[in-house]
């Protein structure tokens, strides 16, 4: 890149390119730590050849370049010829709504998605993705899974599902609403807006007249350009800029419905059992690496792009209306909690965690 090209970059392009360089130099996308511990080992390949897996993610290729590609590249390199994972993006092998069935049948060996988007048949599926106001920051997700009991609940839920093994859940970005031509400055402005989004948040926001629309991920930008969609309720600022939606949308609602998405990794149980223990451990290590990469990538862009990004005008709901939305979420929580004893346990954890954070005060809340 020449100095002249650099000078022509917009503020958002400079932010995105700087952060990509930082992540690359830090080794977060290359699997440096994982590979360093294994590449020096003798190459051991079974006579039948390496284990081959097919993994499909919920995300399209531009987003997948950050949320999973670095991890798969790191794993394949560190596996040293013993195993190779082929990565497929949204809808490439099966429609996103069929991910769970394809995983269970063995069409796919592994999946990265949230439960709600992939139609997982468990009573905690509603919490996968964006559950309104369950989180405020990305660290809330691993904290609740590690210290408040969500790990045990997720493991219990999937123990009762045939041929699917839940492996790990991590945090993605916050949820904002981005619109093409219609700014949201009041709850009334949401009425009738057709937006692409994740199921649970869409169900909650439909209370205010928002119309959730499900289409293939790769079709979203064109659908906004043609007027089929009025916007998206799918992601935060980092993602909107990275995948190009900020080039189409003129407005961004600064109120965040949720602070972080719950995304998980799953394996076909039969496929998982065929993987030797050391490669199972390697895969789980690279999953943790992916969680870390995403936390840095998303968090590094949210505030910076909101403040310095030039592509969207920020709007906000009036304080009294926003307070009403927060209040309404309490009823939504209670409704979901009553759906099953296990769902009730999850909501109780959300409430306890939020109460602890409020009591802890700055910098937690």
Instruction: In whole angstroms, give the CA distance from residue 337 to residue 164.
Output: 24
Q: Looking at residue 63, which CATH number applies to its domain?
A: 3.40.190.170
- The answer to whether 153 and 251 are in contact (CB under 8 A) is no
Same domain for 160 and 87, yes or no, is: yes
The per-residue pLDDT for 164 is 98
Same domain for 41 and 104, yes or no, is: yes
Same domain for 224 and 337, yes or no, is: yes
Indicate the number of domains in the chain: 2
Note every long-range contact of 243-249, with CB atoms under 8 Å and residues 24 or more positions apart, other chains counting. 243/60, 243/62, 243/63, 244/62, 245/178, 245/220, 245/221, 246/12, 246/178, 246/309, 246/311, 246/312, 247/311, 248/180, 248/221, 248/224, 249/178, 249/179, 249/180, 249/224, 249/311, 249/312
Three-state helix/strand/coil letters over 141-154? HHHHHHHCCHHHHH
Same domain for 54 and 101, yes or no, is: yes
Digitized pLDDT (tens) for each residue of the chain, 365 residues in all? 555 555 677 767 766 676 566 556 555 554 544 544 444 444 444 447 899 999 999 999 999 999 999 999 999 999 999 999 999 999 999 999 999 999 999 999 999 999 999 999 999 999 999 999 999 999 999 999 999 999 999 999 999 999 999 999 999 999 999 999 999 999 999 999 999 988 899 999 999 999 999 999 999 999 999 999 999 999 999 999 999 999 999 999 999 999 999 999 999 999 999 999 999 999 999 999 999 999 999 998 898 999 999 999 999 999 999 999 999 999 999 999 999 999 999 999 999 999 999 999 988 77
Same domain for 157 and 254, yes or no, is: no
The per-residue pLDDT for 339 is 95
Same domain for 294 and 344, yes or no, is: no
> The domain containing residue 197 runs over which residues?
175-259+311-360
**Residue 178 in tokens:** 């981005």
The verdict on residue 17 lying in a domain is: no
The verdict on residue 64 lying in a domain is: yes
The verdict on residue 202 lying in a domain is: yes
Query: Measured on CA atoms in the order 328, 334, 339, 343, is the torsion positive or negative?
Result: positive
Q: Considering only CA atoms, which of 78, 84, 87, 73 is closest in space to residue 50?
A: 84
Same domain for 185 and 112, yes or no, is: no
The per-residue pLDDT for 42 is 41
The verdict on residue 4 lying in a domain is: no
Same domain for 339 and 241, yes or no, is: yes
The verdict on residue 124 lying in a domain is: yes
The verdict on residue 365 lying in a domain is: no
The verdict on residue 1 lying in a domain is: no
Instruction: In whole angstroms, give the CA distance from residue 131 to residue 201.
Output: 6
Same domain for 98 and 144, yes or no, is: yes
- The answer to whether 71 and 27 are in contact (CB under 8 A) is no
- Strands of the sheet containing 313-315, edge to edge, are 211-213, 194-197, 231-235, 175-179, 251-258, 313-315
């Amino acid at each position: 890149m020449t100095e002249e090209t650099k000078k022509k970059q917009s503020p958002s392009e400079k932010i995105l390119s700087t952060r990509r360089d930082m992540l690359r130099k830090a080794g977060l996308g290359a699997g440096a730590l994982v590979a360093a511990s294994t590449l020096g080992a003798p190459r051991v390949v079974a006579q039948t050849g390496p284990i081959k897996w097919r993994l499909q993610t919920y995300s399209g290729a531009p987003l997948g370049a950050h949320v999973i590609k670095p991890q798969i590249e790191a794993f394949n390199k560190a596996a040293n010829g013993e195993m190779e994972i082929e990565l497929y993006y949204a809808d490439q092998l099966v429609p996103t709504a069929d991910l769970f069935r394809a995983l269970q049948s063995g069409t796919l060996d592994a999946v990265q998605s949230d439960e709600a988007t992939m139609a997982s048949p468990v009573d905690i599926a509603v919490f996968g993705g964006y559950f309104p106001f369950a989180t405020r920051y990305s660290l809330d997700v691993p904290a609740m899974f590690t210290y408040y009991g969500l790990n045990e609940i997720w493991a219990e839920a999937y123990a009762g599902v045939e041929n699917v093994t839940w492996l790990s859940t991590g945090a993605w970005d916050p949820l904002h609403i981005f619109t093409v031509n219609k700014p949201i400055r009041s709850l009334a402005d949401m009425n009738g807006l057709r937006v692409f989004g994740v199921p649970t948040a869409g169900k909650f926001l439909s209370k205010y007249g928002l119309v959730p629309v499900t289409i293939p991920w790769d079709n979203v930008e064109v659908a906004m350009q043609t007027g089929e969609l009025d916007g998206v309720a799918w992601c935060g600022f980092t993602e909107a800029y990275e995948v190009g939606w900020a080039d189409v949308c003129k407005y961004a609602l600064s109120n965040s419905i949720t602070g972080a998405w719950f995304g998980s990794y799953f394996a076909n149980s039969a496929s998982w059992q065929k993987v030797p223990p050391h490669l199972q451990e390697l895969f789980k290590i690279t999953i943790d690496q992916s969680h870390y990469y995403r936390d840095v990538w998303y968090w590094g862009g949210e505030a910076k792009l909101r403040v310095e990004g030039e592509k969207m005008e920020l709007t906000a709901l009036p304080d009294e209306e926003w307070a009403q939305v927060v209040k309404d979420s309490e009823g939504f929580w209670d409704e979901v909690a009553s759906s099953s004893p296990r769902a009730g346990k999850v909501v109780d954890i959300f409430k306890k965690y939020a109460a602890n954070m409020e009591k802890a005060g700055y910098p937690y809340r």
